[in-house]
Amino acid sequence: AQSVTQPDIHITVSEGASLELRCNYSYGATPYLFWYVQSPGQGLQLLLKYFSGDTLVQGIKGFEAEFKRSQSSFNLRKPSVHWSDAAEYFCAVWNNNAGNMLTFGGGTRLMVKP
């Protein structure tokens, strides 16, 4: 069965510090990979996606993510976190062997200290 794992449930970083949120998936082939952000009381917004090509993808709000096939990972990074980045972040995977649907990880809640 497919799965998406976000090992960190909560992360706290200081404003201005760098950030890395982890995401691991389990599939045989290369899936399509997504990162979404959810602010309190809001729906999910797409930050970035990877389908093929360059394994380092740039997204909105200064985020980037790197696909590493050997590690089955798609970690999200940001060099300098802003207080407005406090939110919950979801990694998601689409695979056509999984009934054509997006599977989400459990999410990582990011808190930003002033």
Partner 1 sequence: DAGVIQSPRHEVTEMGQEVTLRCKPISGHDYLFWYRQTMMRGLELLIYFNNNVPIDDSGMPEDRFSAKMPNASFSTLKIQPSEPRDSAVYFCASSLFTNTEAFFGQGTRLTVV
The residues of the shown chain that bind partner 1, judged by CB under 8 A, are 32, 34, 36, 41-46, 49, 51, 90, 94, 96, 99-107
Residue 41 Cβ, how far from partner 1 at the closest point, in Å? 8
Q: Which residues contact 42 (CB under 8 A, 6 or more apart)?
A: none
Residue 66 Cβ, how far from partner 1 at the closest point, in Å? 19
Q: Residue 3 or residue 80: which is nearer to partner 1 going by CB? A: 3
d(C-alpha 28, C-alpha 70), whole Å: 12
Q: Residue 17 or residue 60: which is nearer to partner 1 going by CB? A: 60
Dihedral over alpha carbons 7, 51, 82, 105 (to 10 degrees): -30
Lookup: tokens for 76: 């999200």
